[in-house]
Structure 1
Amino acid sequence: MKYLAAYLLLTIGGNTAPAAKDITALLATVGIEAECARVDALIAQLAGKDINELIAEGTSKLASVPAGGAAAAAPAGGAAAAEEKAEEKKEEAKEESDDDMGFGLFD
């Protein structure tokens, strides 16, 4: 991920086709020693491709990924989710009543 981030920073900075030495130099400025094999693999995968098109393609793929655990779980186990919420509320009420240890502020 750090190699891709460095590549993207270099492209934003105006370098349309960053080389391995550019990525290595950028990472070195923040104290990261780059692995040449990984940098070379990244360069090979991105060679000849427009970074803006790749980002747009990736964004459309991410849009199809479900997210948000509660919303995704509700249709599959709506009753179970409702029971869990009810139990949590009971536990919270129990904890709140135990907080005063039997003594009220104005008793």
Structure 2
Amino acid sequence: MSSKAELACVYSALILADDDVAVTSEKIQTILKAANVDVEPYWPGLFAKALEGISVKDLITNVGAGVGAGPAVGAAAPAAAAAESAPAEKKEEAKKKEESEESDDDMGFGLFD
């Protein structure tokens, strides 16, 4: 966090989430006012909008979980298609590698000559 205002809004949102209260701009402002913390008026609204429709408790408990982990059911068809295209990609990479090696030889000098 780069500022006191951001940190205060984060703590306010955590307090609201811990009490199972919806995180809204007005409620964040109420907590900040009770704590005698002055912030720019856009911070509570920004945090409320960012956390809209998100369960803060789930967000905290899944911090270490992989972001890209999806269900394995839908991954079968794309995985098969990727497996079929993999040999073709390897051939293209090998061909490009051979061409790049040849282009170094054509100049008559190498990196360590």
TM-score with structure 1 setting the length: 0.49
Larger RCO: Structure 1 or Structure 2 (Cα < 8 Å, ≥ 6 residues apart)? 2
Higher percent of residues as helix: 1
TM-score with structure 2 setting the length: 0.46
